[in-house]
Structure 1
């Protein structure tokens, strides 16, 4: 259950994440347990020469690309999500399965990895670390059977 505060003075039916459709911009949103809270901290009118437009247009292009993907129902999405969560390096493993395929990965520390087995290990470890810290998701039903 979520509670949302919105402003009719900002007549945009938008908000954070998947929350939208109210008769004004959502400025505050929280779940009943207060474990998830969104608060609008500010806004500004962008000028044409503002570099933020480049970022916004890039996000818009990325979103358009994502929405042109394959539509799945909630059960299919949950299955795909759990498959990815259980083996987030699966795609890298498939890409590097051929001995003729090579790749170079540069870590945050600047180290370059070219050995396929080391690249797979790097992705497995970094994704495991990501999921360990990514433990407060909005979509609670993704983790329930």
Structure 2
């Protein structure tokens, strides 16, 4: 009876921890069109349950973990250079609700969190070409989305009609997807069971908008990030935080924002 009890306990434990699956992708990006030899590589996660999935960067998870511990202890004396090292090109999350079919994109512009529902369909053309990628037999598919042509390799061996970023809708998990210009690629590297998917709590002002409004705000920020941030701060409490900021810190922030904007001129979505 003891042996049966242990087996039953092990089975129950396995069922609990099998409720969510994490797919680990290596993401390669060329954010600066003027310097195509500068390839940024990061790790991202696609966490899946029977109800939904969420795609996000590993650095986002690490950064939120540090800030969460700081809030719990009330001590924010962590290593600032560590936080700088966790700055990421994957500064967004994509949540896909399987029941409703809604994809929700969340990202920060300046100090505010923005959220919109993706309103563009992703129409795939399944091609006859097949390939073995890692342990999986895959088939090729093609789509045009947000100004880029994308090629994906999916496997029916993993019965999730999902993939990294906003990609989904193929009869199996997307193991690899890349654009025709070779600017962006997502490659599956690892699969593992997890207890539950991550739930990122949105802190600060959450602004729910239409996609076009988000794109307009993002364009304004990229055109003049300093003026955008100043306008945002001035709209808060008669000037808001940072009105009397140290001039040297302000200048440093201005230079950093301008340099980042200059080097990130090749976004994943071109229109």
Question: What is the TM-score when the length of structure 2 is the normalising length?
Answer: 0.37
Residue-by-residue CA offset, 1:54-85 (whole Å, 9 max, x unaligned):
xx122xx44xx96x712243xx4443222110
More helix by share: 1
1:33, distance to aligned residue in structure 2 (A): 2.2
1:57 pairs with 2:192: no
CA distance in 2, matches of 1:70, 1:20: 23
Task: Report the equivalent of 1:108.
Answer: none
8 Å Cα contact 2:221-2:228 kept in structure 1: no
1:4, distance to aligned residue in structure 2 (A): 0.6
Q: In structure 2, do the counterparts of structure 1 residues 81 and 3 end up closer, same or farther at CA, with 3 Å as the change threshold?
A: same
5+ residue gaps in structure 1? Answer: 105-112
Task: Report the equivalent of 2:185.
Answer: 37
Q: How many equivalent residue pairs?
A: 119
1:79 pairs with 2:216: yes
SS at match of 1:44: strand
Q: Aligned ranges for residues 1-145 of structure 1 at < 5 Å?
A: 1-47=149-195, 53=197, 56-58=198-200, 61-62=201-202, 69-73=208-212, 76-94=213-231, 95=233, 101-103=240-242, 114-115=245-246, 117-141=247-271
1:90, distance to aligned residue in structure 2 (A): 3.4
RMSD of aligned residue pairs (Cα, Å): 3.2
Q: In structure 2, do the counterparts of structure 1 residues 39 and 29 end up closer, same or farther at CA, with 3 Å as the change threshold?
A: same
1:92, distance to aligned residue in structure 2 (A): 3.4
Question: What is the TM-score when the length of structure 1 is the normalising length?
Answer: 0.63
1:40, distance to aligned residue in structure 2 (A): 0.8
Task: Please identify the structure whose Cα radius of gyration is greater.
Answer: 2
CA distance in 1, matches of 2:270, 2:230: 29
CA distance in 2, matches of 1:100, 1:44: 48
1:96, distance to aligned residue in structure 2 (A): 5.3
5+ residue gaps in structure 2? Answer: 1-148
1:99, distance to aligned residue in structure 2 (A): 8.0
